Amino acid sequence: MTYTPLVPLPPDPSLSPAATPSPPSPPASNPSQPPPALHPAGAVLHDSLPLARTATDAGFTVASTATRLGFAIAQTSMSLTSSSLKHAGALLSSAGVGGAAGPALVASGLSIDLANSAVGVAQDLTLAAQHAGQIAAQTGISALEFTTEVAGYQNGDGVRLFVSEDDIEAARFVHAMVVNFLDEVPAGITAKDMYAALSVLALLHADTKTGLPSSTPGLAPISTQDVSPDVQAYIRPAVGIYGNLPTAFLQIRPSDPSHPAHPPAPHPLDEDAAITAFCRIASVPPSDVLAHDLKGATYQPGYIVYVDRPRRNVVVTLRGTINFPADVLTDLVCGVSHYTPPALPAPTDPHPGAHGGMLEAARRIRSKVESTVATALADNTGFNVMVTGHSLGAGVATLLGSMWGPSFPAVKVVAFAPPCTLTRESAAACTWITSVVCGTDVVSRFGLATSVDLREVLWLDTDPSGVSPPAAVYEAPNDTFDHIALQPGMYRSHMPQFYLKQVESLAS
């Protein structure tokens, strides 16, 4: 386990705001011109019309193909039958046997030919009727499109009933980021090549026992005596906020085994049951919970504000990634946004920046909870502010705490498994922020800049004709970590129950 000030990756020039899409901002609204009240059914109808047009075309194409195939089978069968009858009749007549049977067979064949011609006409009529039906259907769809557009519906109105503008803009950012990242892939490199190179790199690391060196800045192991009381005190709130069902699944229970942690809930996302589970796991009296919102949204992870009377703190606990897709989009909007912590008296960071999605989340959480925190401080003389969280919650906590330095001078942050959110210079100056990174946790070591470094490693190890063994140790372009090392348990080490076990084992 390591216990360090927050030390994220330094900014990569290729990931500057000029080269990386900026995180989406909330859409501006004009209160003097409220949007028209449009019926949700109309919005869904308008968005479904292009799909209906495509489906109609596909349906009529299938029907036309089936019609042609059916008539072709019938006509082929009739032609074969007619040819057989006429041939048999001609043989009988030429042999002078069978009497009138020969001419009768020829006549039957000719009758089938006549019927076959009628079948051809029927096919043409059927296809014409289908084509007319297709034109009528498409005309009706066009009329509906015109009507809904005149009524004020726009493309995407139906989608916005189910996802927010933030979701749409965040998804666009992630798409642009992935496209930009893959644009650097050398010609001829396939996904199979990349997977093979990654596998070789992992095998070599395992074979040579390559690990994180003890000399890496900020990653020295610690002893029990080095663990801050705040780390021990706030690990349970940081993991307990995940709620009733997740903590039950992860087997996170109260420190007192006689207390049941997971109350019955009418549905998995019941907020009252989640608050009850949090209070039991974190040993917080329900009456001391001041505010909470666990529904969450893009750029707004769940949060709980409560009063910690024994430690004389007003605590803001932020939840990690659990809400899909909102929390995942917040994680993935990882472009660099220009940001300098306002608490720094003389900023010296030459490239100030922060994780764009989490910075936006911190700003929104601040707007929701700051008045509650200020009131609680006024009601509890001598109390300070503590911000904590795990994973996404930890990342947002570091940024929220960096904003609150001037407002709440005694603010502290304890972040468990935080992603890289600030530049090295800004993070080092925020001395009131403590991050806790356990084991080989990948989230605290991986980001957009690191992924670029890893991509370059793979390109060194991969060529269009195959995979060449990589070096056992690769010196990364930045000096935050001495190695890019793939380690067993990188993802397991990030789980909240792993952090709870590690912290409490040091405290015992």
**CATH number, residue 289:** 3.40.50.1820
Alpha carbon distance 413, 432 (integer Å)? 6
The domain in which residue 373 lies consists of 2-26+179-507
Strands 384-390 and 412-416: parallel
- The reply to whether 142 and 192 lie within a common domain is no
Number of domains within the chain: 2
Q: Is residue 170, in this structure, part of any structural domain at all?
A: no
Q: Is residue 160, in this structure, part of any structural domain at all?
A: no
- The reply to whether 352 and 415 lie within a common domain is yes
- The reply to whether 128 and 44 lie within a common domain is yes
> Each residue of 40-85: pLDDT tens digit?
777 777 778 888 888 888 888 888 899 989 888 988 888 888 888 8
Measuring CA to CA, which residue among 426, 478, 434 is closest to residue 452? Answer: 478
Q: Is residue 31, in this structure, part of any structural domain at all?
A: no
- The reply to whether 233 and 116 lie within a common domain is no
The arrangement of strands across the sheet holding 303-308 comes to: 2-4, 433-437, 412-416, 384-390, 313-318, 303-308, 289-293
Measuring CA to CA, which residue among 484, 474, 478, 394 is closest to residue 435? Answer: 394
Last residue within a domain, chosen from 152, 167, 200: 152
> Each residue of 103-140: pLDDT tens digit?
888 888 888 888 888 888 888 899 898 889 889 888 88
- The reply to whether 147 and 277 lie within a common domain is no
Give the rounded percent of residues in the chain with a pLDDT score beyond 90. 27
**Statement: residue 224 has pLDDT above 80:** no
- The reply to whether 122 and 249 lie within a common domain is no
Q: pLDDT at position 372, please?
A: 97
- The reply to whether 311 and 456 lie within a common domain is yes
> Is the model more confident about 130 or about 409?
130
- What per-residue string of b and e applies to 37-57 under the rule 16 or more CB within 10 Å gives b? eeeeebbebbbebeebbeebe
CA 246 from centroid of its chain's CA atoms: 18
Split at pLDDT 50, 70, 90, the class of 320 is very high
Q: pLDDT at position 29, please?
A: 42
- The reply to whether 53 and 7 lie within a common domain is no
Q: Is residue 84, in this structure, part of any structural domain at all?
A: yes
Most confident segment among 163-177, 262-276, 420-434, 485-499: 420-434
- The reply to whether 230 and 378 lie within a common domain is yes
Q: Is residue 158, in this structure, part of any structural domain at all?
A: no
Q: Is residue 33, in this structure, part of any structural domain at all?
A: no
Q: Is residue 470, in this structure, part of any structural domain at all?
A: yes
Alpha carbon distance 2, 371 (integer Å)? 35
- The reply to whether 112 and 196 lie within a common domain is no
- The reply to whether 184 and 125 lie within a common domain is no
- The reply to whether 365 and 473 lie within a common domain is yes
Q: Is residue 163, in this structure, part of any structural domain at all?
A: no
Helix, strand or coil, per DSSP, at residue 88 = helix
User: What is the chain's length?
Assistant: 508
Which residue(s) pair with 307 in the sheet?
A: 314
